């Protein structure tokens, strides 16, 4: 098993990509701490992992809340004696809202979950990982973190910021054994995609390009790349941003 004896914290683990990461990592032997705001769905994922023979603790965590995030990181150390992998995966959409229509509330919400959340968790995880000799941080960015036409204004800005944060962590902490990489999913079939309530202006701008989006990918296909980034096979990969988008970013 590729993560035997390791522990991982995964945010946004109650659904979609985070749920698939949890199941995949547990199958490979990792002990998990799973954080999400959705208690009902989170409990189901914990039960699922345990049923499949894995180990997981579920915590209701808003990734924007510094105290809750600190408790989540500490819990991994208390439970498993170490923290090897942090997946900053929780994220929210902006419903394709063009910049002139972005409210202060929407800006703060999307930047809070998608940027401040990963910052808070990485800030607490890094000293633990450095003290134990290394670790891996995996940020779920987006194709919208690499191009301007894959989301609304604030989602695009937030995922570009997350890509920048990924490269900065990689550069500063690589020498201390912590690798930090990002995944840039394209259109993946999850609750996020199905709950999208598109802004009319954003939707009109988007619509002519729909036929160019490759068929939806599966959450499992993103989790497989996260597993690669979490384990020894990717020991020399640091600061990478890996599209998992069926080729969407090629045009």
Ligand X SMILES: NC(=O)c1ccc[n+]([C@@H]2O[C@H](COP(=O)([O-])OP(=O)(O)OC[C@H]3O[C@@H](n4cnc5c(N)ncnc54)[C@H](O)[C@@H]3O)[C@@H](O)[C@H]2O)c1
- Positions that interact with ligand X (CB under 6 A): 11-12, 14-18, 35-38, 41, 61-64, 89-92, 113, 140, 142, 185, 187-188, 190-193
- Is 236 tagged catalytic? no
Backbone torsions φ then ψ of 151, nearest 5 degrees: -175, -175
Give the nearer residue to ligand X in terms of CB position, either 27 or 189.
Answer: 189
Question: 3-state DSSP: the chain helix, strand, coil percent, rounded to 5?
Answer: 55, 15, 30
- Find residue 35's DSSP bridge partners: 11, 59
Backbone torsions φ then ψ of 4, nearest 5 degrees: -60, 130
* CB of residue 197 to ligand X, shortest distance in Å: 13
DSSP E strand stretches across 135-230: 135-140, 178-185
Backbone torsions φ then ψ of 64, nearest 5 degrees: -85, -5
Cα separation, 194 vs 213, whole angstroms: 16
Give the nearer residue to ligand X in terms of CB position, either 30 or 147.
Answer: 147
Give the nearer residue to ligand X in terms of CB position, either 11 or 181.
Answer: 11
* CB of residue 4 to ligand X, shortest distance in Å: 26
* CB of residue 130 to ligand X, shortest distance in Å: 25
The one catalytic residue among 80, 155, 172, 206: 155
| Residues known to be catalytic | 155
């Amino acid at each position: 098993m590729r993560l035997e004896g390791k522990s991982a914290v995964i945010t946004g683990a109650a659904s979609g990509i985070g749920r698939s990461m949890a199941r995949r990592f547990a199958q490979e032997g990792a002990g998990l701490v799973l954080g999400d705001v959705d208690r009902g769905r989170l409990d189901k994922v914990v039960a699922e992992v345990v049923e499949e023979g894995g180990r997981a603790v579920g915590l209701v965590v808003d990734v924007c809340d510094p105290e809750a995030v600190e408790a989540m990181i500490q819990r991994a150390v208390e439970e498993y004696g170490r923290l090897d992998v942090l997946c900053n995966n929780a994220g929210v959409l902006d419903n394709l809202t063009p910049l002139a229509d972005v409210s202060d509330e929407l800006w703060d919400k999307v930047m809070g979950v998608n940027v401040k959340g990963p910052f808070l968790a990485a800030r607490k995880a890094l000293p633990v990982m450095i003290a134990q000799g290394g670790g891996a941080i995996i940020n779920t960015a987006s194709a919208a973190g690499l191009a301007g036409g894959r989301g609304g204004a604030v989602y695009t800005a937030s995922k570009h910021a997350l890509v920048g944060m990924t490269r900065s962590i990689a550069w500063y902490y690589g020498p201390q054994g912590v690798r930090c990489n990002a995944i840039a999913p394209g259109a993946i079939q999850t609750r996020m995609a199905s709950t999208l309530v598109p802004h009319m202006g954003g939707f009109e701008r988007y619509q002519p390009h729909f036929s160019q989006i490759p068929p939806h990918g599966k959450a499992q296909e993103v989790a497989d790349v996260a597993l690669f980034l979490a384990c020894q096979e990717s020991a020399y990969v640091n600061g990478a941003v890996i599209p998992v988008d069926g080729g969407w970013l090629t045009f």
